[in-house]
Amino acid sequence: MTTPFGKLKTYLEFVKFEHTIFALPFAYAGMLFAANGFPGWEKFILITLAMASARTSAMALNRVIDAAIDARNPRTAMRHVPRGIVKPLEGVLLAIVSLVILTFAAARLGSLPLTLLPIAVIFLVLYPYTKRFTWLCHLWLGITDGAAAVGGWIAVTNSFSPAAWLLWLVVIFWMIGLDVIYATQDFEFDKRNGVFSIPQRFGIPASLEVAKVCHAIMWVLLIAVGFAVNATYPYYIATAIMGGILFYEHRIVKADDLARVNEAFFNANSWLALTMLAGVIIDVWIR
């Protein structure tokens, strides 16, 4: 018999909850920069709930919508829905519960977050379908995940600003690059099954160059964010370290050797996000 704890563990594995570490630090960065410090525990908890529930709903729907594709792909055939560990209805219900939590958090955070919520939900729901008709699916993912950064900002100020837009662009180009690297694993499968991606359209060597360019743009935008918020030296130190992490990420993934794609995708980018957050925390602390 499955215990409640065991079921919870299954659901967390189903949505890869640990990957929340990618976008959440950027949401916190937007929050801290907007408040020029810590905005209080209520804002912090609501932002955390909003971002974690948004990602959970998106991943649950993605896993359900892509179940048939995942079942045909040897790399993904052991995921929860193809194996029957999580039923499609369970995935949909998990997504609905997460959206309810997201709506509650958005309503508590202010009128602008609540007004923008339907647009965010549309992007969350439609992302899995983009790979069925366009290789620009990576851009769609970047826009969707990048909303976390600007969401953290408007949750505090209930308004946009140039710095918030720049943070959004940072995450957009970061996500495009890392998602393109991740998609190289499925190059052969995508070619045979009509799944669209930049690697499927342009080949692996060109795609890795696209990822490099995206991450170079991201790094320049990080510096621009620093100027926009009048950041101090800890932020720029963190930016330099992030540049080193990006360089390492691209050194370990080669067109003729994709064995370390997962290391580049998860390990390197987890450290990058945490470095960003650490730099922002120290920056606003010493001002």
What was the pLDDT predicted at 138?
Answer: 97
Residue 263 has pLDDT above 90, yes or no: no
- Residue 151's pLDDT band, with cuts at 50, 70 and 90, is very high
What share of the chain in percent tops pLDDT 90?
85
- Residue 265's pLDDT band, with cuts at 50, 70 and 90, is confident
Q: What is the pLDDT of residues 192-236, one digit of tens each?
A: 999 999 999 999 999 999 999 999 999 999 999 999 999 999 999
Q: What is the pLDDT of residues 78-106, one digit of tens each?
A: 999 999 999 999 999 999 999 999 999 99
The answer to whether the beta carbons of residues 77 and 71 sit under 8 Å apart is yes
Q: Where are the alpha helices (DSSP H) in 36-161?
A: 41-65, 67-72, 80-83, 88-109, 111-130, 137-157
Q: What is the pLDDT of residues 7-23, one digit of tens each?
A: 788 888 888 877 777 78
CA atoms within 13 A on the CB side of 266: 8
**Average pLDDT of span 120-148:** 94
What share of the chain in percent tops pLDDT 70?
99
Structural domains in the chain, CATH included, are: 14-286 (1.10.357.140)
